[in-house]
């Protein structure tokens, strides 16, 4: 039989175990600076440090990855934010062989941010927004 002190110690130990198992939460960061950090972590190996598609890991893919600095130029000078996020996520792979670019939507893409446009609120992972913001910042 546990004493009151023993029960308290047991309860604190159980709470510590539960807290250790809880997923780590982080604040959403949708800045272009965070997007740049993510880009160099996840994208630069194939798309190149400058986004032009000349990354060393792209060799042997059958063709270079698209030049990410000309996305707006190829879309009537409008950055295709929704399209870019859908390609990164893996939802829309029109221009990518499915085996070449990972479906980042299968990974943790950060905390969800509610984005409102035209009165419609859409939940979007913060890393997708940050990557898109960075890619928009490197358009030529």
Q: What is the CATH number of the domain that holds 99?
A: 1.10.760.10
* 8 domain residue, yes or no: no
What is residue 11's predicted lDDT score, i.e. its pLDDT?
Answer: 43
Q: Do 81 and 132 meet the contact criterion of CB atoms below 8 Å apart?
A: yes
Looking at 11-20, 25-34, 89-98, which range is the least confident one? 11-20
* 49 domain residue, yes or no: yes
Q: Do 10 and 2 meet the contact criterion of CB atoms below 8 Å apart?
A: yes
* 103 domain residue, yes or no: yes
* 17 domain residue, yes or no: no
Does pLDDT of 52 surpass 80? yes
The structural domain count of the chain equals 1
For 78-118, what is each residue's pLDDT tens digit?
A: 999 999 998 898 876 655 554 578 888 888 999 999 999 89
Domain that holds residue 110: 30-137
pTM: 0.78
* 64 domain residue, yes or no: yes
């Amino acid at each position: 039989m546990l004493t009151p002190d023993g029960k308290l110690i047991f309860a604190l130990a159980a709470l510590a175990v539960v807290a250790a198992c809880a997923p780590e939460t982080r604040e959403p960061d949708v800045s272009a600076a965070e997007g740049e950090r993510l880009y160099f972590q996840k994208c630069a190996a194939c798309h190149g440090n400058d986004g032009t598609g000349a990354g060393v890991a792209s060799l042997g893919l059958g063709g270079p990855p698209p030049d990410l600095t000309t996305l707006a130029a190829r879309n009537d000078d409008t950055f295709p934010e929704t399209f870019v996020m859908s390609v990164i996520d893996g939802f829309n792979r029109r221009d990518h062989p499915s085996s070449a670019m990972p479906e980042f939507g299968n990974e943790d893409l950060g905390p969800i941010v509610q984005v409102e446009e035209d009165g419609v609120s859409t939940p979007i992972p913060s890393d997708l927004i940050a990557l898109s913001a960075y890619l928009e910042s490197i358009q030529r």
